[in-house]
């Protein structure tokens, strides 16, 4: 009887812990907290400019650590909230300006500028809650990396 009570209490505690973790997972976080969960050193940036009037999408990459740090410092000013699976459109073909950070270990974070969306490793979707992103800064950043 004591063993059953102990197992029941352990099950209740485990369930409460899982419930609290799920609630905390969808709370607002700083962008820095997302970067810490990825636990990688980002080494390159890939910029994608969408197609215009039937022309192919323009993409370019840079491997400048200073530019990676500059982007990460800019994004530290923002907070994000993880999207629930029902909030994600699986058929969403995003054809907009984007910046992808890539690490040597294969981890990536993609920032979709117009939608204020951050995608971690193509699996976890976050929305920027205190956006929109500063488009003037983003445009200057795009231009400074292209030329």
Q: How far apart are CA 20 and CA 31, in angstroms?
A: 21
- Map tokens 């699986």 to a residue: 90
- Map tokens 């699996």 to a residue: 123
Does a structural domain hold residue 65? yes
Q: Which of 96, 129, 92 is nearest to 110 (CA)?
A: 96
CA quadruple 47, 98, 38, 141: dihedral sign? positive
Q: How far apart are CA 137 and CA 142, in angstroms?
A: 9
Amino acid 147: pLDDT:
58
Does a structural domain hold residue 89? yes
Does a structural domain hold residue 117? yes
Count of structural domains within the chain: 1
The answer to whether the predicted template modeling score (pTM) of the entire model surpasses 0.75 is no
pLDDT digits (tens, 9 = 90+) for 87-133: 776 655 566 788 888 888 888 888 888 777 888 877 788 888 887 88
Does a structural domain hold residue 13? no
Which domain does 93 fall in, by range?
A: 28-146
Does a structural domain hold residue 14? no
Amino acid 94: pLDDT:
60
Q: In what order do the strands lie in the sheet with 98-103?
A: 28-30, 79-82, 124-128, 117-120, 108-112, 98-103, 42-49, 58-62
pLDDT digits (tens, 9 = 90+) for 46-98: 888 877 777 777 788 888 888 888 988 998 888 888 888 777 766 555 667 88
Does a structural domain hold residue 54? yes
Does a structural domain hold residue 43? yes
Does a structural domain hold residue 63? yes
In this predicted model, which residue has the larger pLDDT, 29 or 88?
29
Q: How far apart are CA 57 and CA 67, in angstroms?
A: 22
């Amino acid at each position: 009887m004591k063993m059953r009570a102990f197992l029941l209490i352990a099950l209740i505690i485990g369930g409460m812990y899982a419930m609290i973790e799920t609630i905390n997972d969808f709370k607002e976080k700083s962008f820095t907290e997302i970067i810490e969960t990825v636990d990688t050193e980002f080494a390159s940036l890939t910029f994608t400019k969408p197609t215009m009037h039937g022309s192919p999408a323009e993409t370019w990459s840079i491997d400048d650590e200073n530019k990676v740090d500059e982007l990460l410092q800019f994004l530290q000013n923002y907070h994000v909230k993880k999207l629930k699976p029902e909030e994600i459109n699986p058929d969403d073909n995003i054809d907009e300006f984007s910046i992808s950070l890539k690490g040597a270990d294969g981890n990536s974070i993609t920032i979709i500028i117009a939608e204020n969306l951050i995608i971690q490793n193509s699996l976890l979707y976050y929305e920027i809650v205190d956006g929109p992103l500063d488009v003037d800064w983003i445009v200057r950043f795009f231009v400074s990396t292209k030329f």
